[in-house]
Every structure is written in C-alpha cells, then in structure tokens.
Amino acid sequence: MRILIVGASKGTGALAVKAALERGHEVTAFARSPERLELNHPKLTKVRGDFHNSEDIERAVPGHDAVILTASPGSLAGSKKDPTFFSRGTRLVIRAMQASRVRRLIVLSGIGVGETRKLSGWIAEKFVFGMLLKVPYADLEQREQDTRESGLEWVIARPGMLTNGPATKNYVRQQGLERVSWSWSISRADLAEFLVEAAEVDTWVGRGVQLGG
C-alpha cells in the first residue's frame, strides 16, 4: 500500500511511519518540518506542507491508498489559540481525498469525544472533558462528524491516555459504549500499530474504536 501520514514528524505520527515501513508499505510523511523525522528508508518520502493549506494537501493526497491523520497543535494552549485546528485541516483532507478518489481515511481522536464521554465517569465527564479539554474536544467532535459524513472508508481511533512505552501489540480494541474494565492508557507505539492496521484491513471501517491497555 501507499500510505500518507499527515503530522508525521514526531510523536504518534512518526511512530506510524515506522510501523508502516516495517509492515512493507510505501509511506509519505507529510509535516511542516519533515526533517525532524529521524528516519530514512527506500520506501519513505518526506514532504513539507501545512495541514491547513489546501494546495499543499491537494498535492500530497493523490496516488495514495490510505491517509492517516495524526497532526496536532501539540498542547492545550495551542488548541485554545487555534480552536478549529483539527476540523479545519480534516475538511481539506476529506475534500482532496474525494477529488482524487482516495478511499481510506483514519483519523486520530480520543476517548471522551462525543458519545464516548459517558465512558469516563462523572468527574472526568464534568471537569476534564467538560471544562479543561472543552475546546479541543469540541473540535475533535466536529472532526468525527465530518469524517462520518465524508462518504469515505473511515476509521476513528480513540485512544485513552498516551504513554511513551514500547509497542506491546497486546491492547484492547472496543467498539461499543460499555464501561471499560481495562486500563485507559496505551503506548503511542501501540496506537501507531493500530492506525496502520486500520489502513490495511476492512475490520474497522465505518467505526469508532476505543483503545487502551
């Protein structure tokens, strides 16, 4: 497969690049500063671009089999400064995919967005997601809505708390809204593995998937 990863210079995006290459895919790493990606490979192409620039996105998307969105403002302060960061860029990607007939879209969201807020318990629902993370989570909810209405083969990945641990390849994927008995945390490396898996298989198409340990 040819996979485009948007937001690929660090964090989950960089780990998704690594996972995709290890699984034999051709990868385009799209980022504002792609030189920060400390990885080189014969099947890796680094592309400089802005997630919010339509021309950059329209040049990057064609010719791929799947797009994985991991771009993030990087901090809560960044989200408050740009409260439509997630949804604005996602709409550009969706339009470019529709125009170039690229079908598979995997977007990164989080547990606590939309209907999954009820999974978090009263305190987290009211104070964490209802107050502290209100701005970015409202934008992620809009991203999810736009994704579901895109007409694409979409997958929404909703991890819990992210850690920097190694990939265990032993994590939970939950599609329903039952309260969880497993850990809310998941390593970025395991999350990256799931994002690539979601590009490869049809199992998760049209679904939001909660991810944890």
pLDDT digits (tens, 9 = 90+) for 104-140: 999 999 888 877 766 666 455 555 555 556 677 889 9
- Token pair recorded at residue 83: 């409260």
Distance linking the first and last C-alpha atoms of the chain: 28
Confidence of residue 169 (pLDDT cuts 50, 70, 90): confident
Considering the segment(s) 2-212 as one domain, its CATH architecture is 3-Layer(aba) Sandwich (3.40)
Per-residue confidence band for 81, with pLDDT thresholds at 50, 70 and 90: confident
Closest CA to 70 of 9, 115, 135, 136: 9
Question: How far apart are alpha carbons 111 and 160 in whole angstroms?
Answer: 5
- The per-residue pLDDT of the chain, averaged, comes to 89
Q: What is the pLDDT of residue 159?
A: 92
> Angle formed by the axes of helices 11-22 and 188-200, to 10°?
50
How wide is the angle at C-alpha 209 spanned by C-alphas 206 and 212, nearest 5°? Answer: 170
Rounded to an integer, what distance in angstroms lies between the CA atom of residue 86 and that of residue 79? 9
